[in-house]
């Protein structure tokens, strides 16, 4: 059991929220930064944390949280609640996830004390090539040109993954779990401030795409705003089909045909076929579990962000960050340098292990991690990838990863746990809709350039049937004998690795509460850039003296949710940068 203590940096979450809200209004930054700004929201006035004796849910929208709690109260399992929560999130938070997207889940079975990883990552159609995102001029396409094209959409996997997990661990009937979302779609739900902000967003093109514009425009020609009631009968009908046929209701039949027809329309039509959709299968496998301090941290396998997060934890395990705290500049220096080393290795080596050699064992070998940690030093210096055992000759990465994603964590009354990250990739995915839901633009998670200038292949290059690399890394923490300790995760594009690392360090090393942990300022160190929320001036000055100046021109946004075991029950926290709640019974 974690004994939590509060830290003064918690007060900064209000400043973070105000800063992020201002950046939404003012813009700034390049195209790759726009989705990060877009995910910002105002500081919360409602208590987002929660404590419960029997079961707990933490999700990014209060409607989704409540539905999850209701399922658990009715005797449902953690996976049952996940099915219901995802169906609601896809309706009320369509900028982040949905029926047309993908997901990764880690599941803890309290009886066996085993952790299983479920991979619902999208796949490229069999007609895809390594030059999927290369223009006629031989250069990579502009990012948003690729996003808005039919070529950006992969075979969606979230529903199929949940279908598989429900068959393994569900207790309540599948169809009934979709009823709450179906009713919300038919009766209408109240547009939240965050969704309203996404609808009004001008920095990215998806909200102005024809399908999105049509959906979010009222009969009088004005856009939906916060407080309006939005109905989506087409979404309800799609849920009815999925309720009857499971994942086949989405991946075969009329809905599948509508997906294929829509992505075949210009510009940049896809090669996606009905056969691609019907052939999709999620993956069930053992989680990637490694020691950290006195704990064991479990994540999904590649191509998820699990290996990258495990590398970062493995490097930090060699430092004294655990004896420091969030008010110590040296702690944040160590955090940032471990992040840089982990990103360098992840960007170089991680791709779809079904198609490329991913040297996971070499990357996580304690001797290798010790050598990497020795590079941290007293000041920031150049960072490049290492040469772990089994490393293939891959080229540099050229992958853009905007953040249109959501995360939730669930503990049921039997002690089973779900930690799940779910996405449509960018804000409203590709901006294209069918049957009430947005289609993902997940294939833009591939490297746009299939080769380096010297011809070396990129590990994350597109290929037929390949899954793009992901940063999503839902985590579950156990004791060495397999007892549940904590669960956490976040959206945020490539920054997910840093967000998850922050919350795990705060929970496990600094013994902070879930709410204080998720509210800590974010620091994303990758390459030579240190993007951060505002920190106290003494910390910023001390980091600058270590050749690590923080760039706070825009707040890095997260959507962390976390639950820990505490005082005979569960304590949860939800990121103040979003609208989430942690609630239970």
366-386 pLDDT, tens digit each: 999 999 999 999 999 999 999
Say yes or no to pLDDT of 579 above 90: yes
Round the average pLDDT of the chain to a whole number and report it: 91
Alpha helix (H) ranges present in 188-290? 193-199, 210-215, 233-245, 248-251, 253-263, 274-278
List, for residues 357-367, the tens digit of each pLDDT value.
999 999 999 99
Instruction: State yes or no: pLDDT of 165 exceeds 80.
Output: yes
List, in sequence order, every beta strand (DSSP E) within 111-152. Answer: 114-120
Give per-residue pLDDT as tens, 493-514: 999 999 999 999 999 999 999 9
pLDDT per position as a tens digit, 561-576:
999 999 999 999 999 9
Alpha helices in 420-528 (DSSP H): 496-504, 514-519
pLDDT higher than 80, residue 452:
no
Give me the pLDDT at residue 392, please.
85
What is the per-residue pLDDT for 377? 94
Give the model confidence (pLDDT) of 115-127 as tens digits. Answer: 999 999 999 999 9
Q: Which residue, among 147, 206, 210, has the nearest Cα to 444 in the 3D structure?
A: 147
Cα separation, 445 vs 442, in Å, equals 6
Residue 522, burial from CB neighbour count under 10 angstroms (0-12, 13-18, 19+):
buried
- Tell whether the model's pLDDT for residue 1 goes beyond 50: yes
pLDDT of amino acid 459: 87
| Mean pLDDT of the 188-198 span | 97
pLDDT at 461 over 80: yes
pLDDT band at residue 396 using 50, 70 and 90 as cut-offs: low
pLDDT above 90 coverage of the chain, percent: 85
- Selecting among 399, 405, 422, 552, the annotated active-site residue is 405
pLDDT score, position 449: 87
Give the model confidence (pLDDT) of 401-450 as tens digits: 555 799 999 999 999 999 999 999 999 999 999 999 999 999 999 999 88
pLDDT confidence of residue 306: 98
Burial class (CB in 10 A: 0-12, 13-18, 19+), 429: buried
Asked if residue 11 has pLDDT above 80, the reply is no
Q: What is the pLDDT of residues 314-355, one digit of tens each?
A: 999 999 999 999 999 999 999 999 999 999 999 999 999 999
Q: Which residues contact 75 (CB under 8 A, 6 or more apart)?
A: 171, 172, 413
**pLDDT given at position 27:** 30
Per residue in 194-223, pLDDT (tens digit) is 999 999 999 899 999 999 999 999 999 999
Which of the residue ranges 253-267, 389-403, 549-563 has the most confident prediction, judged by mean pLDDT?
253-267
Query: What tokens were used for 197?
Result: 């902000």
**405 classed as catalytic:** yes
Question: pLDDT digits over 71-105, tens only?
Answer: 999 999 999 999 999 999 999 999 999 999 999 99
């Amino acid at each position: 059991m974690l004994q939590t203590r509060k830290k003064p940096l918690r007060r900064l979450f209000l400043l973070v929220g105000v800063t992020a809200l201002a950046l939404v209004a003012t813009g700034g930054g390049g195209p790759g930064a726009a989705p990060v700004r877009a995910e910002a929201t105002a500081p919360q006035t409602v208590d987002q944390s929660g404590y419960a004796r029997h079961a707990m849910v933490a999700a990014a929208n209060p409607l989704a949280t409540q539905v999850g709690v209701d399922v658990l109260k009715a005797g449902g399992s953690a996976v049952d609640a996940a099915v219901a929560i995802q169906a609601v999130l896809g309706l009320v938070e369509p900028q982040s996830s949905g029926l047309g997207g993908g997901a990764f889940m880690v599941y803890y079975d309290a009886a066996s004390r085993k952790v299983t990883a479920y991979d619902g990552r999208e796949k490229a159609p069999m007609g895809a090539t390594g030059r999927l995102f290369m223009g006629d001029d031989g250069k990579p396409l502009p990012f948003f040109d690729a996003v808005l094209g039919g070529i950006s959409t992969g075979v969606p996997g979230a529903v199929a993954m949940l279908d598989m997990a429900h068959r393994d661990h569900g207790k309540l009937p599948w169809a009934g779990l979709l009823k709450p979302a179906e009713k919300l779609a038919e009766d209408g739900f109240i547009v939240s401030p965050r969704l309203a902000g996404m609808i009004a967003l001008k920095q990215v093109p998806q909200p102005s795409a024809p399908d999105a514009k049509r959906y979010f425009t009222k009969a009088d020609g004005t856009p939906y705003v916060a407080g309006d009631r939005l109905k989506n009968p087409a979404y309800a009908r799609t849920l009815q089909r999925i309720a009857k046929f499971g994942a086949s209701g989405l991946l075969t039949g009329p809905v599948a045909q509508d997906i294929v027809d829509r992505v075949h329309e210009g510009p940049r039509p896809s090669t996606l076929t009905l056969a691609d959709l019907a052939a999709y299968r999620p993956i069930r496998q053992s989680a990637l579990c490694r020691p950290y301090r006195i704990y064991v941290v479990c994540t999904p396998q590649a191509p998820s962000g699990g290996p990258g997060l495990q590398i970062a934890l493995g490097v930090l395990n060699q430092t004294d960050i655990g004896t420091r705290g969030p008010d110590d500049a040296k702690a944040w220096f160590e955090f940032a340098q471990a992040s840089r080393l982990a990103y360098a290795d992840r960007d170089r080596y991680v791709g779809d292990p079904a198609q490329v050699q991913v040297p996971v064992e070499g990357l996580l070998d304690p001797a290798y991690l010790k050598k990497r940690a020795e590079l941290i030093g007293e000041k920031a210096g150049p960072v490049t990838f290492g040469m772990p055992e089994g490393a293939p000759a891959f080229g540099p990465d050229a992958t853009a990863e905007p953040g249109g994603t959501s995360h939730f964590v669930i503990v049921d009354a039997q002690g089973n746990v779900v930690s799940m990250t779910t996405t449509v990739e960018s804000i409203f995915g590709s901006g294209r809709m069918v049957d009430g839901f947005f289609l993902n633009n997940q294939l833009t998670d591939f490297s746009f350039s299939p080769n380096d200038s010297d011809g070396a292949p990129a590990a994350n290059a597109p290929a037929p049937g390949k899954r793009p690399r992901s940063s999503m890394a839902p985590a579950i923490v156990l004791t060495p004998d397999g007892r549940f300790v904590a669960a956490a995760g976040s959206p945020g594009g490539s920054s997910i690795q840093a967000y998850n690392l922050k919350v795990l360090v705060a929970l496990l090393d600094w013994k902070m509460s879930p709410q204080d942990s998720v509210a800590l300022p974010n620091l994303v160190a990758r390459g030579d850039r240190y993007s951060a929320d505002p920190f106290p001036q003494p910390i910023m000055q001390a980091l600058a003296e270590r050749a690590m100046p923080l760039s706070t021109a825009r707040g890095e946004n997260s959507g962390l949710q976390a639950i820990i075991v505490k005082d005979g029950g569960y304590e949860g926290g939800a990121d103040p940068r979003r609208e989430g709640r942690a609630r239970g019974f």
